[in-house]
Every structure is written in C-alpha cells, then in structure tokens.
Amino acid sequence: MTDQLSKKSQAWSARFSEPVDELVKRYTASVDFDRRLALFDIEASLAHAAMLESVGLIGADDLGAIRRGMAQIRGEIERGAFAWSVDLEDVHLNIEKRLTELVGEPGKRLHTARSRNDQVATDLRLWLRANIDDTLQLLASLQRALLDLAEANAGTILPGFTHLQVAQPITFGHHLLAYVEMFARDAERFAEVRSRTNRLPLGAAALAGTSYPIDRMHVARALGFEALCANSLDAVSDRDFAIEYCAAASLAMMHVSRLSEELVLWMSPRVGFIDLADRFCTGSSIMPQKKNPDVPELARGKTGRVYGHLVALLTLMKGQPLAYNKDNQEDKEPLFDTADTLGDTLRIFADLVGGIRVRPERMRAAAAEGFSTATDLADYLVRKGLAFRDAHEAVARAVRAAAERGVDLAELGVDTLRGFSPLVGDDVLEVLELDGSVASRDHPGGTAPARVRAAIAAHRARLAAAGA
C-alpha cells in the first residue's frame, strides 16, 4: 500500500489510506483543460517566489533554482515536450512536481504561504486579462472594417425598415454606423470587466490568509495587477469576473448575430443588396446554383452557445457557500469556449465585412418602393402650416390612392396630390426624392451623408486615441 501510494502520490496523499479510484481521478482532474493556464501559472509562481525571497521566507539560492527550473518547464511546455499527467490532477500540481524533479528542495518551498485556491484564481485572472486585451484589438479591427465600408457608402441609399416593412430611406453608411456604436459599447464593457478582473487574489491562501509576513503589493506590482482582492474569502471563491466576461461576450455575440441576420437577408437573391466574398460561403452538395452564407448563420448559432456558457457560470456560483468549493473547477471550460468562440467570430467578421460587395442599385430600387418618403411629404405639409396629425391623415389617403393605382407618390402628380391637401405646391416633388430625404436628416445622429462622414471621423479619432 505504501508502495502504491508513493509511486503515484498526489501532493496531498499522505493523509489517505488507499489510492483514489481511477474513474474518480479522471472525474476530479482538470489538467486536460486547465493546462491552458500553464504560462500564467509559471508567471504567478515566479512573482510569488520573488516576494518570498524579498521578505526572507526563501533564500536567494532557492529563488535562483526556482527561476532556472521554471525556465526549463516553460521551454518544455512551449515545445510540447512537457509530460502532463492526470495523476497530478491539475496544471498547478503538474508544474510544481516537475519543478521539484528538476531543482529538488527549492521546488518544495515554492508553495509556502500559498494555496491552489488563491493560485488558480490568480492564474485565471491573468489569463482573462490577456484575453480581454486580444478581444479589444479584435473589436477595434471589426469597427475599422465597418467604418471603411460605411465611408465608401456614406451616400448609398437603402430602405430603412421597421417591422421589416420599408419605413424611410437611409444611407447604408448610417446603417453600418449603428453596428459601430454597438461594438464600441462592447469594447467599453470589456475594458470595465478588465479593470475588475485585474486584482490580485494571491495572499488569500486557502481562504483565511496566511501567518507568514508576506508582501502582497510586491506580487501585485510584479504581475501588473491594479489592486489587491481585499477579502481573502472573496478572493478565492467568487468568479464574478468570469461571469461578467461571459455577459459582455454574450452581448457582443448578440450584436454579431443581429448583423449576421441582416447579412443573410441582404444576400438572399430576393433582396440582393450585397454579396459576400466566396471564401465565407459554401455551396450545396445537391443544388448547384447555391451560394450559402454559412459564416453569418453559424455566428448566429454560436451566439446561443455563448449565452449557454453565461447561464452555466451563473448557475455554478449561485449555490456555493463561502469560500472555495471544487465546483469552481467547472468555471474553466465555459469561459475558455466563450473566449474561443468570440475571438474566432470577431476575427472572421472583420475580414468578412471587408469583403462585402455592395449593390447600390438594388438598395436604391428597394428604397423607391413602399412609399418610403411618405413621412417627408407629411413634414412638408407641416412646414406649410398644417398640424402634424392632419398632415399624417392627408398623406395616408394619398398613399392609399397611389397603392390602389400601383404607382408611387411622385407618380400621382402634383395635381392629384393637391387633391389631398391644398397646401401642396409645385415644389412637392423634391421632397419625395430619396436623396433629398436623407440629406434633410441633418442633425447629430441623423442619416444625412454629411453627418455620416462626421460620425466616421469621430469614431476613427476615438479608435486612434485608444491606441487600437
């Protein structure tokens, strides 16, 4: 028995009289997925070791040995030569065991004043912080791609919809800028999540802190944390930073999904507003004519998967008493998959948007249908002195007459239009024109091409100032 235990001994197995059941070992192990944290685990261990040395808890020679050993381990991991073992449960124990194999005694001193509970919370925050920095870059690339397309289409007219019915003419640039606003807010949210993530758990140890004279600020500075987690129980147990990340990711995916829905509609031959580059589409194995917008459809589908991860993490936390519980090991796979899904999606979409081919003639033709300038006619009558409600009614009657005859409002002619209101003058046909309609919406937030160009310039300046 002693032999059996020593061969495959866990760091904690001295307390136990029989080895862990094989299935239980696999059930409780996390090394298959938490090895993604390895380089952050090493970084945090080096900062911890340097602090232990600075307060005299380990010697300078111990620190030197730990640094040497960790450098070798990092190399092994990067080369794919590290022998991960499920017997050693998780990333932390795998690395610590290897360190001790390589450098002996100093490796055994590393875990002084530390627990895997504050260690894993630290690693996860470091990993997420780096991931958020990538996410912010990707969001900036996507915004830039949208701005480029918006700039090229600042004056391109298409119908704006409400209830998916033609409502009023707008510019395609303005439409795209709506998505830039959404992704800009997503970036703001991720920046806020980053700052709450960027706090140091180490020093909390298992849950109650430690009796050693540690210097937590030393570690925080070395790892670039903005602050310490102020309460040791909270530091090791809460995962709200991961939940917040998944919430922000869910919102960003929701925005991508809305854009996807529009791309699918716009690309339908029935609508034909745009074409996506072939590299983002697939064909059909049976119907030779098909070119399907698979990428936006998948993004729409993957949005549900990310929402699922958010709900998984919320549910994971809701029943946990203070402080650390093993439930928390289940935080990683949803978080990692959320980050992978969002990262791939944003990366692909920046490229996909850059490859959109616009068909302005189809957009304009669609805007000319559906009486999209009816509101402009009502506004014209108001400018001539009619109360808006009366103007609305007069135009509604005109629209009905035009629809019955199968013509648009301008085609009714000035004389017929005057039959619905004596205020109609010879200048009425101008207000029924698409270009005049969009140009007249000339205020901050409006669709006039000049406003679209100004908004694009403001967004570009914001992105440049953010260094993105």
Report the interface residues with ligand ARG, using CB under 6 A: 30, 34, 90, 116-117, 120, 326, 328-329
Q: How far is the CB of 284 from ligand ARG (least distance, A)?
A: 44
- 6, 195, 268, 284: the catalytic one is 284
One-letter amino acid for residue 363 of the chain? M
What whole-number distance in Å separates Cα of residue 423 and Cα of residue 312?
62
With 0-12 / 13-18 / 19 or more C-beta atoms within 10 angstroms meaning exposed / middle / buried, residue 360 is middle
Give 32 or 226: the residue with its C-beta nearer to ligand ARG.
32
- Dihedral (CA of 438, 439, 442, 444) sign: positive
Of residues 364, 448, 366, 434, the one with CA closest to residue 174: 448
Q: Please list the helix, strand and coil fractions of the chain in percent, rounded to the nearest 5, in that order.
A: 70, 5, 30
Give 294 or 333: the residue with its C-beta nearer to ligand ARG.
333
Give 335 or 456: the residue with its C-beta nearer to ligand ARG.
335
What whole-number distance in Å separates Cα of residue 121 and Cα of residue 420?
71
Q: How many CA atoms lie within 13 A of 266 on its CB side?
A: 24
Give 240 or 393: the residue with its C-beta nearer to ligand ARG.
240
Question: What per-residue string of b and e applies to 287-320 under the rule 16 or more CB within 10 Å gives b?
Answer: eeeeeebebbeebbebbeebbebbebbeebbeee
Instruction: Work out the angle at residue 305's Cα, subtended by the Cα atoms of residues 304 and 308, and round it to the nearest 5 degrees.
Output: 90
Looking at the DSSP bridge assignments, the partners of residue 171 are: 157
What DSSP assignment string belongs to 248-287? HHHHHHHHHHHHHHHHHHHHSTTT-SEE--GGG-B--SS-
Give 119 or 421: the residue with its C-beta nearer to ligand ARG.
119
Could you give the 3-state DSSP secondary structure of residue 386? coil
Looking at the DSSP bridge assignments, the partners of residue 455 are: none
Q: How far is the CB of 203 from ligand ARG (least distance, A)?
A: 16
- Dihedral (CA of 262, 266, 269, 270) sign: positive
**Token pair listed for 395:** 């135009």
- Cis before residue 205, ω within 30 degrees of 0? no
Q: How far is the CB of 123 from ligand ARG (least distance, A)?
A: 9
Q: How far is the CB of 329 from ligand ARG (least distance, A)?
A: 4
Contact 177, 382 (CB under 8 A): no
- 17, 163, 211, 443: the catalytic one is 163
Q: How far is the CB of 201 from ligand ARG (least distance, A)?
A: 12
Give 116 or 175: the residue with its C-beta nearer to ligand ARG.
116
Q: How far is the CB of 37 from ligand ARG (least distance, A)?
A: 9
What whole-number distance in Å separates Cα of residue 205 and Cα of residue 201?
8
Question: What per-residue string of b and e applies to 83-93 under the rule 16 or more CB within 10 Å gives b?
Answer: eeeebbbbbbb
Q: How far is the CB of 335 from ligand ARG (least distance, A)?
A: 11
Q: How far is the CB of 116 from ligand ARG (least distance, A)?
A: 4
Active site residue 48: no
Could you give the 3-state DSSP secondary structure of residue 199? strand
Active site residue 85: no
Catalytic residues: 163, 284
